[in-house]
């Protein structure tokens, strides 16, 4: 069993006060090295042209922002910031990166189930608590969450034009589980994560309000991002099919 170390400082540091927040950049050498490595790997593997590279670089950029910028520190004070960070990573950065990858080998439903599993697991009280007690677990969380999100999105994009049905079912699963988790958070009567109990007040929020905000963000902002990605995907799919089939411009003979 894991015993917490009382002197341990989480990866993103101790909860900041609002005044010091903007100075709290995370310039951890290991993090920067990891990001640089990921960028190099991506530039090497992702073919230039067709927008794939641009998409990868923007996804990578957002990932970097999510960790290096004060979002990281803020997420130590506010659970809602933490949720915002997760949404940014899994619903914006991940689809952008996935867009640049070839996901035709993974079944979308498998990707959806794995991603949903991680998504629930890491937001439950005990696992969440442990990410604040060890760097290794913290990174295990982010890598599994972001990784499974990338796998899910790339499987969805890669298989959609051949298996639209399982593609849609997997999207439905991901959307539904996210709404359910956020609804449960919003309507919760108790605090899930003790860590945030005493640190939200400087931001003008009670811990419960912060938690409700986190649920609301996941619900609203999450659906908006998710649905936006799905909508763009459909527009692109139809446009591709149209240009393939050379759909003409009919007019009534009358």
In the complex, the residues that contact other proteins under the rule CB under 8 A are 161-162, 164-165, 168-169, 171-172, 175-176, 179-180, 183-184, 186-190, 205, 208-209, 212-213, 215-217, 219-221, 223-224, 226-228, 230-232, 234-235, 238-239, 241-242, 245, 247-254
Q: Rounded CA gap, 138 and 167, in Å?
A: 30
Q: Rounded CA gap, 158 and 106, in Å?
A: 9
Residue (136 or 176) nearer to other proteins, CB: 176
Residue (20 or 242) nearer to other proteins, CB: 242
Residue (43 or 124) nearer to other proteins, CB: 124
Angle between helices 164-186 and 207-245 (to 10 degrees): 170
Angle at 124 between CA 119 and CA 125, to 5 degrees: 150
Q: At closest approach, how far in Å is the CB of 176 from other proteins?
A: 6
Q: Rounded CA gap, 106 and 42, in Å?
A: 19
Please list, in sequence order, all residues whose beta carbon lies within 8 angstroms of the beta carbon of residue 36, skipping any fewer than 6 positions away.
none
Residue (29 or 253) nearer to other proteins, CB: 253
Q: What is the DSSP letter of 195?
A: G
Q: Is 46 left (phi over 0), alpha (psi -120 to 50) or beta?
A: beta
Residue entry with tokens 């359910």:
180
Residue (89 or 171) nearer to other proteins, CB: 171
Q: At closest approach, how far in Å is the CB of 88 from other proteins?
A: 17
How far out from the chain centre does Cα 4 lie?
A: 27
Q: At closest approach, how far in Å is the CB of 73 from other proteins?
A: 21
Q: At closest approach, how far in Å is the CB of 222 from other proteins?
A: 8
Residue (34 or 110) nearer to other proteins, CB: 110
Q: Rounded CA gap, 87 and 223, in Å?
A: 10
Q: At closest approach, how far in Å is the CB of 15 from other proteins?
A: 19
Q: At closest approach, how far in Å is the CB of 75 from other proteins?
A: 17
Residue (47 or 254) nearer to other proteins, CB: 254
Q: At closest approach, how far in Å is the CB of 160 from other proteins?
A: 10
The radius of gyration of the chain's CA atoms, rounded to the nearest angstrom, is 20
Going through the chain in order, the beta strands assigned E by DSSP cover none
SS3 label, residue 74: helix
């Amino acid at each position: 069993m894991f015993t917490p170390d009382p002197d341990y400082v989480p990866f993103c540091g101790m909860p900041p006060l609002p005044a010091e927040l903007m100075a709290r950049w995370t310039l951890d050498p290991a993090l920067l090295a990891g990001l640089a490595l990921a960028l190099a790997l991506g530039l090497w593997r992702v073919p230039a042209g067709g927008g794939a590279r641009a998409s990868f670089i923007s996804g990578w950029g957002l990932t970097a922002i999510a960790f290096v910028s004060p979002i990281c520190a803020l997420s130590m004070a506010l659970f809602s910031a933490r949720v915002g960070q997760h949404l940014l990573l899994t619903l914006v950065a991940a689809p952008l990166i996935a867009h640049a990858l070839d996901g035709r080998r993974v079944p979308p439903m498998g990707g959806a189930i794995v991603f949903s599993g991680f998504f629930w697991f890491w937001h439950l009280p005990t696992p969440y608590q442990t990410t604040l007690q060890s760097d290794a677990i913290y990174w295990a969380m982010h890598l599994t969450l972001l990784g499974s999100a990338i796998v899910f999105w790339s499987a969805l994009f890669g298989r959609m034009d051949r298996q639209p049905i399982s593609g849609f079912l997997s999207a439905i699963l991901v959307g539904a589980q996210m709404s359910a988790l956020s609804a449960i958070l919003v309507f919760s009567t108790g605090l899930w994560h003790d860590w945030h109990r005493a640190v939200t007040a400087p931001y003008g929020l009670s811990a419960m309000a912060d938690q409700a905000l986190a649920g609301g963000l996941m619900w609203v902002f999450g659906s908006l991002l998710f649905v936006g990605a799905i909508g763009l995907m459909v527009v692109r799919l139809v446009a591709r099919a149209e240009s393939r089939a050379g759909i003409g411009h009919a007019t009534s003979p009358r």
